A and B are shown apart, each in its own frame.
Chain A
Amino acid sequence: MSDDAAKTTDEFSTHVERASDRELVLRRTFRARPQIVFDAMTKAELIRKWWIPRSRGVELFECTTDPRVGGAYRFVFGRKGQPPMAFSGVYKDVVPGARVAYTQIFEPMREAGEGLITATYEATPEGFTRLVQRELYPSKEVLDGAIASGMEKGMRETLDQLAVLVTEL
């Protein structure tokens, strides 16, 4: 496949790679201008519409954001009848339509420390948005845990191989 062909098929899918011991990078292009994608990822009433994957049987009980430097956010979610879990943190850098950075604590693992997430929104020539979301985890161990979510590239290859292998068992 030529690079161009790879680009058109890949651009609108989700890419995840491990940039270092402690860092994951997610990339994805969206068919909307940066200001819209920025809003959808920072305004609570819009986050409510996409953050919880619909197929999971999970509910978002609380979602508040205050996207200004020093402002806080908190997402509380879980399954009915089970104790809720929460992500929370503080906005460190906010440039509407271009960039946002915020700390993140997974409250059930508060002692694991605080991560830092930085998202940049870059306009493409077509007027779409190239999102790059860097997730710096408090430690390698915490990232290893997150990676069990199968998101890192090298690991994903292992997973793909594994998926083939399992069908043949």
Chain B
Amino acid sequence: MIETFAALAEPNRFRIVELLRTSERTVGELGQRLDLSQPLVSKHLRVLKEAGVVEVEPRARERVYTLRAKRLREMNDWLDRYREIWDERFEALEGLVSAMEQKERSHERRRRKNNR
């Protein structure tokens, strides 16, 4: 899962994924659209393939790449759950401390009133 994520964090690889979203493509096509050399595109595609994000199919003399949508969906679901943990903790903490603050303030007001 972490590898999948790291694979997508590189901007050119993310652009490859975006391009594959609309259609399957060859290495040459991707290189042209991204203005990258073929060896570089191949290198990025290898990382994406190892991470399970893309699939390759040899067709005639070309290698055609497609996106594995299921893998991306799984990863997104998994990451979403984790992303929320700290925010959820801090939301709960905010509820607790703001209630404690209100309570202390009303105690102080009462104390001041009684001392008057």
C-alpha spacing A26/B17, complex, angstroms: 30
Partner of A155, one of B9, B72, B76: B9
Residue of A nearest to B6 (CB): A144
Report yes or no: A53 in contact with B88, Cβ–Cβ below 8 A.
yes
Interface residues on chain B, size class: 35 or more
Contact residues, A19-54 vs B (CB, 8 A): 26, 28, 30-33, 36-37, 39-41, 46, 49-51, 53-54
A-side contacts of B84, CB under 8 Å:
53
Given contacts A165-B21, A166-B72, contact A149 B83 (CB under 8 A): yes
A-side contacts of B80, CB under 8 Å:
150, 163
Interface presence of B18 (CB below 8 A) = yes
B-side contacts of A13, CB under 8 Å:
87
Interface presence of B92 (CB below 8 A) = yes
Report yes or no: A168 in contact with B98, Cβ–Cβ below 8 A.
no
**Main SS class of interface, B:** helix
Interface presence of A5 (CB below 8 A) = no
Report yes or no: B73 in contact with A166, Cβ–Cβ below 8 A.
yes
Contact with A along B1-40 (1 / 0, CB 8 A): 1100110110000100110010000000000000000000
Report yes or no: B82 in contact with A26, Cβ–Cβ below 8 A.
no
Residue of B nearest to A24 (CB): B86
Residue of A nearest to B79 (CB): A150
Residue of A nearest to B81 (CB): A56
Report yes or no: B85 in contact with A149, Cβ–Cβ below 8 A.
yes
Interface presence of B100 (CB below 8 A) = yes
Report yes or no: B89 in contact with A51, Cβ–Cβ below 8 A.
yes
Residue of B nearest to A13 (CB): B87
Interface set of B (CB-CB < 8 Å, partner A): 1-2, 5-6, 8-9, 14, 17-18, 21, 67, 69, 72-73, 75-76, 79-80, 82-90, 92-98, 100-101, 104
Task: List 18 additional A-B contacts (Cβ < 8 Å) besides A37-B97, A149-B82, A149-B85.
Answer: A16-B86, A28-B90, A30-B90, A30-B94, A31-B101, A32-B100, A32-B101, A39-B100, A41-B93, A49-B92, A50-B92, A50-B96, A53-B88, A56-B85, A150-B82, A151-B82, A159-B83, A161-B14
Interface set of A (CB-CB < 8 Å, partner B): 12-14, 16, 26, 28, 30-33, 36-37, 39-41, 46, 49-51, 53-56, 129, 144-145, 147-151, 154-156, 158-159, 161-163, 165-166, 168-169
Task: Enumerate 24 A-B pairs (CB-CB under 8 Å) in ascending A order.
Answer: A12-B94, A14-B86, A36-B104, A40-B93, A40-B96, A49-B92, A49-B96, A53-B88, A144-B2, A148-B5, A148-B79, A149-B85, A150-B82, A151-B83, A151-B86, A155-B9, A158-B9, A162-B72, A162-B75, A162-B76, A165-B72, A166-B72, A169-B21, A169-B67
